[in-house]
Chain A
Amino acid sequence: DAGITQSPRHKVTETGTPVTLRCHQTENHRYMYWYRQDPGHGLRLIHYSYGVKDTDKGEVSDGYSVSRSKTEDFLLTLESATSSQTSVYFCAISGLAGGSVKETQYFGPGTRLLVL
């Protein structure tokens, strides 16, 4: 267990509403990531962070924003949720402070989001 939690674990929302998912880690890892998993697509990177206030886009970033105001928390926001954003969202962490970037990513338990 890499000390990573996600909240909420399940959420149902309506199209057009804002949604924020939270990832919290207790391991002081430098890098944090948000992925979505969809049938036939595997795991796709949405955004990632390489430090406090340092973030960058991934493969499928449109419609999503992120923030990291402290080391332990990485927030994913859907500004105006759409049905195409129905998915399972996973947070991952890697890179102990001062360590190499080539380290294993450890995943949280996931958040299942349904946008009606």
Chain B
Amino acid sequence: DQQVKQNSPSLSVQEGRISILNCDYTNSMFDYFLWYKKYPAEGPTFLISISSIKDKNEDGRFTVFLNKSAKHLSLHIVPSQPGDSAVYFCACGGGSEKLVFGKGTKLTVNP
């Protein structure tokens, strides 16, 4: 029973365009949400987070949107760059020190 779902295993976009990565969750106890980026042969690195009291958080080219009623979050990357090509994991937490991760979406940004 997956509590956190990233339904798109892969996504391909053109350089300069917007990348939108989606994540759905089922547990209404989750109240903070994170996105991680992972390059091959490296550990995941923290990208951006949002708490449930907000619906948007922006950091440079990266924006995370949270729709609590739909239990949905998304990561927007504008403009996309070839160096953004990586696997992106969403993670959800709440009520404990543990995070639950999605299975990841592999983003490829084509020059």
CB distance from B22 to the nearest CB of A (A): 15
Is A74's beta carbon under 8 Å from chain B?
Answer: no
**Contact status A95-B97, CB under 8 Å:** yes
Residues in B neighbouring A108, C-beta threshold 8 A: 43
The reply to whether B97 and A107 form a contact with Cβ atoms under 8 Å apart is no
Q: How far is the CA of A38 from the CA of B103 in the complex (A)?
A: 9
| A10-53 contact mask (Cβ, 8 Å, vs B): 1 or 0 | 00000000000000000000010101000011111100101000
Contact present for B44 and A90 (CB under 8 Å): yes
A-B contact number at CB 8 A: 50
Question: Chain B residues with Cβ under 8 A from A43's Cβ?
Answer: 44, 89, 91, 101
| B99 to A, closest residue via Cβ | A105
Cα distance A66–B103 when bound, in Å? 24
- Asked whether B43 lies within 8 Å of A48 as measured between CB atoms, the reply is no
Residue A109 interfacial (CB < 8 Å):
yes
Expressed in whole angstroms, the Cα–Cα distance for A108 and B38 within the complex equals 12
Closest-CB distance, B7 to chain A (whole angstroms): 13
Contacts of A90 in B (CB 8 A): 43-44
9 of the cross-chain contacts (CB-CB < 8 Å) are A33-B98, A40-B103, A42-B6, A43-B44, A43-B101, A44-B101, A48-B98, A107-B45, A109-B42
